[in-house]
C-alpha cells in the first residue's frame, strides 16, 4: 500500500498550483470558452481541500506553531491589503470600461484567510491539550471556526474538513464519517463546494513527507497565490484599456 503513496507535500503543492492556475484562467478576458471553463473548474475543486489538508499536516510537523499561525495570518492580511489597493486603483482608472466587465478587474479571492482561521482553530485545540484550563481555548477555537465557516472563501467546507482532519487524525473510521458529514454540509448549503471530495485521491497519494525544504519551497506558494491573481487582474486592465 505504501508504494502507492508517491507524492510529498512539495509535489502535491506543485500539482495543486498548476490546477489552481487552470481554474483561474477563465478570469482572463475572453480567453476560454464556457465549456473549457467548466472543465477546469471541475478538475480544480481539489485544490483548496488539498492545501487545507497539508496546512493541518503542517501543524503536526512545525517546530513553532505560533509562528506558523502568525505567518498564515500575516499572509491573509497581505492578500486582503493587496486586493484592496489593486481594486481601488483599477476602479479609479476604469471609467471607460463597461460595468459588466469591470468585475474582471477586481480581486476578492482570499482563501488564505479561511486557511488561517482553520489553522488557528486547530492550533487552539492543540494548545488546549497542554493546559489544565481548556474552556477559553475551545471558545476561541469555536469563534475562529464560525467566522471562517460563515465568511471565509470555501469556509463551509474547509473549516469542518480541517477540524475533522486534526481531531480524528488517528481514527480512520471517525475521520471518514466526518468527511462524509462535511460532504452533506456542502450539498445542503447554497454556493458551497460539493465536489471537494475530488481531493481525496490526491490525499491518498501523500506519503507524509514534506519534500523540498528550501527557503524557496517554504514561501513560493504563499507568494504565488496572490501574485498570479493580481497579474491576471492587471492583464485584464491592460487589455480593456488599450487604445
- pLDDT tens-digit map of 187-196: 999 889 999 9
What pLDDT, on the 0 to 100 scale, is given for residue 1? 54
Q: Which residues contact 90 (CB under 8 A, 6 or more apart)?
A: 105, 106, 233, 237
pLDDT at 213 over 70: yes
What pLDDT, on the 0 to 100 scale, is given for residue 212? 82
Q: Is 208 left (phi over 0), alpha (psi -120 to 50) or beta?
A: left
What pLDDT, on the 0 to 100 scale, is given for residue 130? 81
* pLDDT confidence tier of residue 104, bands split at 50, 70 and 90: confident
CA-to-CA distance for 231 and 227, rounded, in angstroms? 6
Residue 114 CA, distance from chain mean position: 7
pLDDT at 111 over 80: yes
What pLDDT, on the 0 to 100 scale, is given for residue 91? 84
Task: Check if the beta carbon of residue 112 is closer than 8 Å to that of residue 79.
Answer: yes
Quick one: average pLDDT of 227-242?
90
The pTM for the full model equals: 0.94
| Residue found under cell 488564505 | 112
What pLDDT, on the 0 to 100 scale, is given for residue 109? 94
What pLDDT, on the 0 to 100 scale, is given for residue 218? 81
- Which is higher by pLDDT, 226 or 103? 226
Across the chain, mean pLDDT equals: 92
pLDDT at 163 over 80: yes
* Angle, in degrees to the nearest 10, between helices 215-241 and 65-92: 10
Quick one: average pLDDT of 33-42?
96
What pLDDT, on the 0 to 100 scale, is given for residue 243? 53
* pLDDT confidence tier of residue 168, bands split at 50, 70 and 90: very high
* pLDDT confidence tier of residue 2, bands split at 50, 70 and 90: low
CA-to-CA distance for 37 and 28, rounded, in angstroms? 11
CA-to-CA distance for 144 and 117, rounded, in angstroms? 5
Quick one: average pLDDT of 47-66?
96
What sign results for the dihedral spanned by CA atoms 46, 49, 53, 59?
A: positive
Amino acid at each position: 500500500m505504501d508504494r502507492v503513496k508517491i507524492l510529498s507535500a512539495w509535489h502535491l503543492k506543485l500539482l495543486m498550483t498548476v490546477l489552481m492556475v487552470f481554474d483561474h484562467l477563465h478570469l482572463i478576458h475572453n480567453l476560454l470558452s464556457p465549456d473549457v471553463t467548466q472543465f477546469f473548474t471541475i478538475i480544480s475543486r481539489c485544490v483548496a481541500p488539498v492545501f487545507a489538508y497539508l496546512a493541518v499536516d503542517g501543524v503536526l510537523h512545525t517546530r513553532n506553531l505560533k509562528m506558523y499561525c502568525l505567518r498564515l495570518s500575516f499572509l491573509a492580511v497581505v492578500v486582503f491589503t493587496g486586493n484592496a489597493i489593486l481594486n481601488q486603483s483599477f476602479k479609479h482608472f476604469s471609467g471607460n470600461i463597461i460595468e459588466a466587465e469591470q468585475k474582471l478587474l477586481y480581486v476578492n479571492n482570499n482563501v488564505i484567510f479561511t486557511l488561517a482561521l482553520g489553522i488557528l482553530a486547530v492550533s487552539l485545540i492543540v494548545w488546549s491539550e497542554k493546559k489544565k484550563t481548556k474552556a477559553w481555548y475551545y471558545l476561541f477555537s469555536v469563534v475562529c471556526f464560525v467566522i471562517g465557516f460563515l465568511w471565509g472563501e470555501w469556509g463551509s467546507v474547509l473549516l469542518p474538513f480541517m477540524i475533522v482532519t486534526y481531531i480524528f487524525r488517528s481514527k480512520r473510521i471517525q475521520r471518514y464519517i466526518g468527511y462524509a458529514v462535511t460532504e452533506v454540509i456542502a450539498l445542503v448549503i447554497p454556493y458551497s463546494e460539493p465536489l471537494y471530495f475530488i481531493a481525496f485521491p490526491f490525499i491518498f497519494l501523500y506519503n507524509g513527507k514534506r519534500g523540498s525544504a528550501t527557503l524557496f519551497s517554504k514561501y513560493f506558494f504563499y507568494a504565488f497565490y496572490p501574485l498570479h491573481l493580481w497579474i491576471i487582474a492587471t492583464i485584464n486592465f491592460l487589455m480593456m484599456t488599450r487604445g
